[in-house]
Amino acid sequence: MTSMSKIHILPDDLANRIAAGEVVERPAAVVKELVENAVDAGASQIQVSVEEDGTKRIEISDNGSGIEKRDLSLALHRHATSKISSTDDLFNIHTLGFRGEALPSIGSVSKLTITSRIEGEDSAWQVVCHGGDIADAVPTAREQGTTVLVENLFFNTPARKKFLKTARTEKEQVKETVTKLALAHPEIEFVFMQDGRETFRLNQAQGALLEDMLPRVAGFLGREFSENTVPVDFERDGMSIKGFVSLPTYHIGNNRKQFLFINGRPVSDRVLVGALKGAYHDMLHHGRHAVALLFVNVPPGDLDVNVHPTKAEVRFSNSSAVYGFVHTAIRRALAPYSTTVSTTPAEEALAKFQNAMPMPQHGQPSMQSPSFVREGASAPYSAPYVPRDQSVQPARQAAFIHNLNATPQMSVAEPLQQASTEDFSSYPLGAAVAQVHKTYIVAQADDGLVVVDQHAAHERLVYEKFKTQMAEQGVERQALLVPDIVTLSEADVEALLAHEKGLEKLGLEVEAFGVNAVSVRATPAILGSVNVKDLIENLVEDVRNLKSTTSLQEDMEHLLSTMACHGSIRAGRVLAHSEMNQLLRDMENTPGSAQCNHGRPTSIKLQLKDIEKLFGRRGY
């Protein structure tokens, strides 16, 4: 007897189930594939109906082209597609689907029923695929178009089912999926039903103009957004971008209202996200995010959509060109609202400003950039500071940080003439003379003029203090007299609660409060009386982005820096002289305070001798 070869080709049904693991890892992914098929079929109406978490029943109906009888069972075979036929096509894709994997994958892990009728045909045809077994097509009644019914999803892959999140999370994912697809296709009427109730219905946009899209958008992004929006409409080098971004004055605590599309595909793409973030970089505080709905189109040949099984990621042949294009388009749209001051003629004088604080030397306590700085690394900017070779003074606890927060927001600056310059002018950051624009502290040092960005500086101090406390026994907590109830989405509540223990180490006590809220019982003492709702909303964003589900440890610096930003005195807060001086002293005594958490300098200094040069008192 000849021995059997060890290697064999897997049977089709097994191969399909393996593919299903990638293509349809959860009910929302099934919904995505089926709606995309309806869009590709040229439908002008799509109805999505889902029961419970989607494993029980998903039904998608469309009025698109339909599928011919002889193609019906073919469509259920792997790599069966009507959308491409050659490698050339693969690099020039105009449809959402092309891999021919969705239907066979879904059919291998559910009971899949497809009913379809094409134009000019008398009858509709129906085919059932149950766990991969395809029955013969039978005639039935239906208008032109296709209905795909998926029942008992994952009935034969219990492991997959076990990996699903709670019903409410899955439901929310499904809703998000339909929302994004509906936003991407204003030309299509969408009806979305959950458990027999209509969740939303979107009529076809009335025209192809940007404004015609707004009524559809308003429902998702909020009326406030449509009142605080700037249209983006720009074309260059064969690329185009259309959509809306929020005014710099309108922003939210997370980035989940950034809907980005490439060639009609909802994507979470680093290039686009980075370009959007970069465009607002000097207009939004850390932790605040723009709201955006942007449709970017690039020539299909410049985009590889075949890099991810569910096509959630794409690759550009020239990502920096796309970055530049999107960045420019948004900056242009925002230009009239930008707060950027144009370059003044005194450029040479500005060039004389230096980072006022010595940069720590090699091996000094960390002032490593937190991870969000790395995240923004796609932005073509680098922090403009001039390192100098001096050592920092020994570390001392920045004792004043807390008091600064405790001071009432309305504190009034002492009159200028009371400022005393004697005491501190020999210190590196000098003696506070005044606060300008409620944002900068101007100080006089023996050898020059110092300007400090109060928010950036304080944020860094709080952050460093956080790290010190963390390194000891965890961040000091301060119990709230009355727990603060913060309403969140169900998924956010889950994300937070999954890290209850870790958050406690960060000084936050959070516990469940129904499905839609958390009760916050304690906050980090160092933050003083902080706006709990804002803090939690910001943190949730970070927590959701955590890579590891088991520990906050690795991402701790990021979380701390988010919290630090929160507890820090804002630009716009009036400071008393004593507060300003205390801030300057704390900075001198805190290693790593020369840069804010974003890598920008916290203070700059113009040497007296350079001022003299500027005024012609001294030769060049």
Angle at the Cα of 589 (from 505 to 555), degrees rounded to 5? 30
Stretch of 2-10, 95-103, 339-347, 481-489 lying at the interface with Mg ion (CB under 5 A): 95-103
Which stretch in 63-71, 180-188, 197-205, 410-418 sits in contact with ligand ADP by CB under 6 A? 63-71
- Are 225 and 250 spatial neighbours (Cβ–Cβ below 8 Å)? yes
Number of residues that bind ligand ADP (CB under 6 A): 22
Residue keyed to tokens 């209850």: 500
Instruction: Return the number of the residue (37 or 595) whose C-beta is nearest Mg ion.
Output: 37
- Residue 277: both structure tokens together: 């973030």
107 in contact with Mg ion (CB under 5 A): no
Q: Residues 17, 28, 33, 221: which binds ligand ADP (CB under 6 A)? A: 33
Task: Name the strand (E) or helix (H) holding 402.
Answer: helix 401-406
Q: Nearest approach, Cβ of 104 to ligand ADP (angstroms)?
A: 6
| Interaction of residue 67 with ligand ADP, rule CB under 6 A | yes
Q: Name the minimum Å distance from CB 33 to Mg ion.
A: 5
Question: Which sign does the torsion angle of CA 107, 108, 109, 111 carry?
Answer: positive
Length of the chain: 620
Q: 258-262 and 292-297 as β-strands: parallel, antiparallel, unpaired?
A: parallel
DSSP codes of every residue in 226-248: HHSEEEEEEEETTEEEEEEEE-T
CB 306 within 8 A of CB 314: no
Answer yes or no whether residue 99 interacts with ligand ADP by CB under 6 A. yes
Residue 93 contacts ligand ADP per CB under 6 A: no
Tokens of 212: 């015609």
Chosen residue from 97, 107, 274, 448 binding ligand ADP by CB under 6 A: 97
582 is a site residue for ligand ADP (CB under 6 A): no
Cα separation, 493 vs 302, whole angstroms: 40
CB 113 to ligand ADP: min, Å: 13
Burial letters 450-469, b for 16+ CB under 10 A, else e: bbbbbbbbbbbbbbbbbbeb
3-class DSSP state for residue 608? helix
Identified binder of ligand ADP from the candidate list 51, 56, 83, 414, rule CB under 6 A: 83
Among 39, 76, 102, 356, binds Mg ion (CB under 5 A): 102
Cα dihedral value 314, 96, 160, 544, nearest 10: 50
41 binds ligand ADP (CB under 6 A): yes
Residue of the chain from 28, 30, 38, 298 that contacts ligand ADP (CB under 6 A): 38
- For residues 19 and 106, is the Cβ–Cβ distance under 8 A? no
Examine residue 81 and tell whether it contacts ligand ADP (CB under 6 A): yes
User: Binding to Mg ion (CB under 5 A): which residues in 13-42?
Assistant: 37
Q: Which amino acid, residue 617? A: R
Binding residue for ligand ADP, selected from 20, 24, 62, 583, defined by CB under 6 A: 62
According to CB under 5 A, which residues from 155 to 184 bind Mg ion?
A: none
Terminal-residue alpha carbon distance, the chain: 97
Instruction: Compare residues 102 and 112 and give the one whose CB is closer to Mg ion.
Output: 102
Contact between 110 and ligand ADP per CB under 6 A = no
Could you tell me if 493 and 515 are in contact, meaning their C-beta atoms sit under 8 angstroms apart? yes
Q: Is 565 in the site for ligand ADP (CB under 6 A)?
A: no
C-beta of 127: minimal distance to ligand ADP in Å? Answer: 11
Which residues on adjacent β-strands are paired with residue 212? none
| Residue from 24, 103, 181, 326 binding ligand ADP (CB under 6 A) | 103
Three-class SS of residue 495? helix
In the complex, which residue's CB is closest to ligand ADP? Answer: 97
Residue 98 partner contact from Mg ion, ligand ADP, none using kind-dependent CB cut-offs of 5 to 8 Å: ligand ADP
**Selected binder of ligand ADP within 24, 30, 48, 75 (CB under 6 A):** 75
Nearer to ligand ADP, 29 or 456 (CB): 29
CB of 267 to Mg ion, least distance (A): 16
Stretch that binds ligand ADP, among 75-83, 275-283, 419-427, 582-590 (CB under 6 A): 75-83
User: What distances in angstroms separate CA 91 from CA 304, 318, 374, one per listed residue?
Assistant: 7, 15, 31
Chain residues binding ligand ADP by CB under 6 A are 33, 37-38, 41, 62, 64-67, 75, 80-83, 97-103, 146
